[in-house]
Amino acid sequence: MSTFAPWQQRVYDQAVAAQASGRLAHGLLFCGPAQLGKRAVAERLAQRLLCQQPAAAGEPCGNCRSCHLLAAGTHPDYQFVSFVPNKEGTRLRTEIVIEQIRQVSEKLSLTPQYGGAQVVIIDPAEAVNHAACNALLKTLEEPVPGRYLWLLSAHPARLPATIRSRCQRYEFRLPQAAESLAWLKQLGHSDASAREALEAARGHPGLANEWLGNDGLKLRREVGSDLAKLARGDVGAVETAQRWVGDDNAAVRLRHAADLALADAAGLTDPGRTRSLAAWFDQANRTRDLLRTTVRADLAVTELLLAWHALHGRRAEGGSR
Ligand SMILES: [Zn+2]
């Protein structure tokens, strides 16, 4: 069984304490920044409720039929709901739709096949669309003992208040720097690279770990250097855009770019300049969304990079006057 990071363990312990005292609600909302391991905690909690031979402390055994079925993803009393392919099967939908929520309600109305609990996890819950939210609310309003419906969300504010108010809330928080650093080093990263990644990820240990694992920091440095060259006019927007969208990392580059613009803005005292960078930050995020649609990615990114150049060109002119 994998071990939790300290911030995961805190949330897990909190939920276990609620369970031990019979206060664990039917509807739970696990919220907090992406990549802090919300799903792993919810899944372990599900395993805890479904295990047929839990250990003394109530921890799942990992060996019973129920634990095996869960590990294989075929437990009849467990359901994970997320994005499914569209009708044409060409891409994943970007919403969780009403048919999916109807299946959840149906599932929760059945008697558990293994005599224990029934658990449904919806992730990301903020993707449940408007029509499906009403069906979801209905299910949350009619709790049945032993049936659990858990929502995972990095953007809980986007959920209707009626849904939020029906759920017991478990909050994942960014840990203190020392704890994040210790965790990254425990995963085998050097002190220096862990510190650099953590600073770049503004204290987010999950993101820092991802960047350390997939050359993300190198990519980030390259994006930073490209933006500096574009600002000075040393490279063209078109060729840079083609390079940025030339592999699978286009979205990650745009995320780094947006983030670097925000970091630039944070150090400024000129409000007009801060506003321009904030507008560019928004544009970068919109462009990243466009990558998922049919728009030609290189054109959208070229436009963004031209705007970046223009933003800095104006400053250069202003400064020379
Ligand atoms: Zn078990």
> pLDDT tens digits for 36-91?
999 999 999 999 999 999 998 889 999 999 999 999 999 999 999 999 888 888 77
For residues 164-181, average pLDDT: 96
Residues found in the chain = 321
Which of the four pLDDT bands, split at 50, 70 and 90, describes residue 316? very low
The pLDDT score that the predictor gives to residue 40 is 96
How far apart are the C-alpha atoms of 165 and 179, rounded to whole Å? 32
Q: CA nearest 40: which of 212, 167, 203, 206? A: 206
How far apart are the C-alpha atoms of 138 and 281, rounded to whole Å? 39
Going from the Cα of 48 to the center of ligand 1, the distance in angstroms, rounded, reads 8
Whose structure tokens read 């499906």?
132
Going from the Cα of 23 to the center of ligand 1, the distance in angstroms, rounded, reads 22
Yes or no: say if 125 and 151 are a contact pair by the CB < 8 Å rule.
yes
The model's pLDDT over 290-307, given as tens digits with 9 standing for 90+, comes to: 887 767 889 999 999 999
Q: Return the half-sphere exposure (C-beta side, CA atoms, 13 A cut-off) of residue 307.
A: 19
How far apart are the C-alpha atoms of 219 and 251, rounded to whole Å? 12
Going from the Cα of 76 to the center of ligand 1, the distance in angstroms, rounded, reads 15
Q: Which residues, in sequence order, are bridge partners of residue 80?
A: 121
Going from the Cα of 84 to the center of ligand 1, the distance in angstroms, rounded, reads 29
The pTM for the full model equals 0.80
The pLDDT score that the predictor gives to residue 315 is 52
The pLDDT score that the predictor gives to residue 2 is 61
Going from the Cα of 140 to the center of ligand 1, the distance in angstroms, rounded, reads 27
The model's pLDDT over 232-281, given as tens digits with 9 standing for 90+, comes to: 999 999 999 999 999 988 988 998 999 899 888 877 888 888 889 989 99
Going from the Cα of 265 to the center of ligand 1, the distance in angstroms, rounded, reads 51
The pLDDT score that the predictor gives to residue 107 is 87
Q: Which residues, in sequence order, are bridge partners of residue 27?
A: 149
Instruction: For residue 242, give both structure tokens.
Output: 């083609």
The pLDDT score that the predictor gives to residue 137 is 95
CA angle 212, 196, 249 (to 5 degrees): 40
For residues 5-29, average pLDDT: 96
Instruction: Specify whether the backbone of 112 is left (phi greater than 0), alpha (psi in -120 to 50) or beta.
Output: beta
The model's pLDDT over 147-165, given as tens digits with 9 standing for 90+, comes to: 999 999 999 999 999 999 9
What's the chain's average pLDDT?
91
Alpha carbon 88 to chain centroid, angstroms: 26
Q: Helix 271-290 to helix 297-320 angle, to the nearest 10 degrees?
A: 170
For residues 222-241, average pLDDT: 95
Going from the Cα of 118 to the center of ligand 1, the distance in angstroms, rounded, reads 15
3-class state of residue 228 by DSSP: helix
Going from the Cα of 51 to the center of ligand 1, the distance in angstroms, rounded, reads 4
Going from the Cα of 70 to the center of ligand 1, the distance in angstroms, rounded, reads 9
